Structures are given as C-alpha cells and as structure tokens.
Chains A and B, each alone.
Chain A
C-alpha cells in the first residue's frame, strides 16, 4: 500500500523529524542523522558569538532545515526571526515557536496563530508548535499552516504523550498533518503517537540526552515506522473491561 507523506508540497519518506539541540558534542549529529533516517531537522537562530561555529556545518546537506523561532515572545518577534532564518538561504520552512512562559515553556496560541497568518502571507511553509487545543489548531490551519505540531508534554521533559486525548482530537478533526512535537521521551511513545494516526514525530531531547544518541536515533526510526505501519494496518477492536475473553485457537476438536 502506498503511503505518501506530503508536507508543504514536498514528499518525505521519513516520518521522524529530529533536532540539533542539547548534544554533548555537535559532531555526533551526522551519525544521528544517518541512523534516524530523518530528512527534516530543526535549528534555532541566535546572535553569533566571536569564534563560535554554527550548527549548519554538522548537518548533512541532503537534509531539509526547519528553523524555529525560539526566543520569540510575540508574533512580531517570530516574524522577525523567520525572515532572518529565510535570509540564511536554507529554504522557507519555519517552525513557529512563541513562548513567554519561561518555566513551563508552553506556547502562546494567540500569538502563534497571528504569526502563522503573517508568515503564510509572506510565502513561508509554516509549522506552528502549539498546545493541542482544537481552536488554536483550527486558527492556524485556517491561516494556512502546512501542519500543526502539538506538544505531547512540555519541552525537554521526556514525559511522553501526556496530552494523548487532545492530540487524538486534532488528528480526527484536522485536514493537515499532525506532527507530535515536544515531550516524547521514548521510542514506545513515538510509536504510540504514530499508531494513533499522527503524521510524524519531532524528537530532539530524547535522542540527544540519551547515553548513546546514534543508537537511540535508530530506535526512534524503527518505532516511528512500526507505529505508522500499525496505523495503516488498522488495529483490531478492543474488548471492554468485563467482556469475555475470545480464544485465538479453535474451541473444537480438543483431544480428550
């Protein structure tokens, strides 16, 4: 069965997106990219320090960059960062991240929707990072977002799919890909998101903070593929608690 994943007009083979933050050494990144099979990778934009090397030198040229607008507290700041990112000459995809809450790092839905609208008008392929709130998600989709990226749990927590029910609602209701971003801590959680029908998962901390990021990248690759296959296969019905068991083996022809 053909299973095409088209995002922003581009066909992607991998449904695992990865990030470039928090690695103990940036020179691990090429091997992580290879092991993950990912084609999309996130980067941030910051003031350049004297003598500091950027991250792009560590990213295989075949990968599609997805710059984020981290550091933005308002829609206007996100727009400014997006323009700077595009000026770097690595395409027009942008992950909108507008956060003013510094403790929980939760995205500001109102400002995110505003930034989405402005950047779509400027020709960006916009992927907004959101709380899995149906109204915020719809506002982003109505504004032209190419996908929505709801959080499974707060950024960098490795807590997993705490927002599972709400993400399920987005998957059911929206006509754009739902990419679960933030909070996924283990491959089993990425697999679960894919089994639910998520279009893709973005995983950074869980890979970067593991003891062996290259091996963990391979584990996430397998998990995302397994989850996608399970969703395509269509899971069997779950019997309600209290319902009788149903034998898998024939109930006739016993030896007596």
Chain B
C-alpha cells in the first residue's frame, strides 16, 4: 500500500502498524512522535494502530535548537 511518510510517498507492506513502520525504518519508538493524517497517535497505541493505504504520516523527534 502507498503511504506518505515525512513527505515521501512509498510502497509499504499491507497490515503494517505504526510500531512496525518505526521498526522497519530503524527509528526509536521511545523518542519519536507520530502524526497520522493530522492527528497525534499516542505512543501507547503504536502497536495497535494499523495503517491504511493513503495515510500521511509525520515522524518527528526533538533535535538541537535554541
């Protein structure tokens, strides 16, 4: 299925959860915040939130800044 992740469209396996997506991309689920179609996915729901074709995701974390 097609997902847009951080502005880039890509083909991903069906039946993918938020936790699975983070794992596949090598992100640390403990520090990444996930926005799905404009709404925040609580970290407690990463493992149970199934992604759907066409979802737009933003995966963000804290970086250095002033």
Contact = CB atoms under 8 A, between A and B. Distances in A.
Q: Please indicate whether A and B come from the same complex rather than being unrelated chains.
A: yes
A67 B25 CA distance: 25
Interface string B1-44: 00000110000000000000000011110011101000010110
Nearest to B31: A54
A119 B6 CA distance: 25
Interface in A29-56: 42-48, 50-56
Given A19-B65, A19-B66, A51 B59 contact: no
Contacts of A156: 66
A42 B27 contact: no
Contacts, number: 97
A50 B6 CA distance: 11
Contact of B66 (A42, A65, A80, A87): A42
Q: How large is the interface on A (under 10, 10 to 19, 20 to 34, 35 or more residues)?
A: 35 or more
Given A54-B31, A88-B33, A89-B43, A44 B64 contact: yes
A56 B59 CA distance: 16
Contacts of B33: 45, 84-85, 87-88
B60 A45 contact: yes
A141 to B, nearest CB: 23
Contacts of B60: 45-48, 84
Nearest to B39: A83
Contacts of B35: 80, 84
A80 B25 CA distance: 24
A107 B66 CA distance: 14
Given A47-B59, A88-B33, A89-B43, A54 B65 contact: no
A100 to B, nearest CB: 18
Contact of B28 (A22, A54, A155): A54
A48 B64 contact: no
A126 to B, nearest CB: 17
Given A43-B62, A48-B59, 7 more contacts: A19-B65, A43-B65, A48-B61, A54-B28, A67-B62, A70-B66, A87-B40
Interface of A: 19-23, 26, 42-48, 50-57, 65, 67-68, 70, 80, 83-85, 87-90, 155-156, 182, 202, 204-205
Interface of B: 6-7, 25-28, 31-33, 35, 40, 42-43, 58-66
6 contacts: A21-B64, A26-B64, A54-B63, A56-B31, A70-B65, A88-B61
